[in-house]
Amino acid sequence: INGVAADTAASSVIITASLLGLPVSTTHNVSASIMGVGSAKRFNAIRWTVVERMVWAWILTIPICGALAYVFVRGLMVLGWGG
């Protein structure tokens, strides 16, 4: 029943966001739904160290990808590709 509750919550958020034209991360939604179900059952059932690592990964993904894209584009420009 917990899995059904988590999947229903995540899919509801994703469908609503899609209908409104809002970009959302399915991974974030599913993970948050699973954490919600776990905390509703027992708050200390969640491994907060894992949650902390997930949040840091989410926060760092966009800046790191942007920096890598910049480095790759600059490298290609040095090699004479692109303008």
Q: Is the pLDDT of residue 4 over 90?
A: yes
Q: Mind listing the pLDDT tens digit for each residue in 13-71?
A: 999 999 999 999 898 899 999 999 888 888 888 888 988 998 898 899 989 999 999 99
Q: How far apart are CA 2 and CA 46, in angstroms?
A: 14
Q: How far apart are CA 81 and CA 3, in angstroms?
A: 49
So what's the pLDDT on residue 83?
62
Q: How far apart are CA 4 and CA 44, in angstroms?
A: 21
Q: Please answer whether residues 48 and 18 qualify as being in contact, where contact means their C-beta atoms are separated by less than 8 angstroms.
A: no
Predicted TM-score of the model (pTM): 0.64
So what's the pLDDT on residue 67?
97
Tokens of 68: 């890598």
